[in-house]
């Protein structure tokens, strides 16, 4: 059981280069809270894709969720 976080691109730098982060006991917590727990800074605001669907940072994790964290680059 548990959930798996998959940081994409530059977000890997904030989680020591991990390609996949298996997490136990995070079910029922929001994406925002778990991101903070694994060391992502609050200002990054990644796009969350959970099991192939975009979700907000308030989404509550469920058993076996696979979460892709995609960092957006902005500027101009």
How does pLDDT run across 12-40, given as a tens digit for each residue? 777 777 789 899 999 999 999 999 998 88
> Rounded distance, CA 29 to CA 49, Å?
16
Structural domains of the chain in order of their starting residue, each with its CATH number: 3-70 (3.10.20.30)
Q: Which of 65, 53, 57 is nearest to 27 (CA)?
A: 65
Q: In this structure, what is the dihedral angle of CA atoms 41, 30, 4, 38, given to the nearest 10 degrees?
A: 30
Q: What global pTM score does this model have? A: 0.86
Check residue 4 and give left, alpha or beta (phi > 0: left; psi -120 to 50: alpha): beta
The more confidently predicted of residues 10 and 8 is 8
Instruction: Copy the structure tokens of residue 2.
Output: 């548990």
């Amino acid at each position: 059981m548990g959930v798996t976080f998959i940081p994409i691109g530059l977000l890997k730098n904030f989680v020591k280069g991990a390609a996949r982060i298996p997490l136990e006991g995070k079910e029922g917590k929001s994406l925002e809270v778990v991101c903070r727990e694994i060391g992502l800074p609050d200002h990054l605001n990644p796009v969350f894709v959970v099991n192939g669907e975009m979700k907000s940072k308030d989404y509550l994790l469920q058993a076996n969720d696979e979460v892709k964290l995609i960092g957006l680059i902005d500027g101009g």
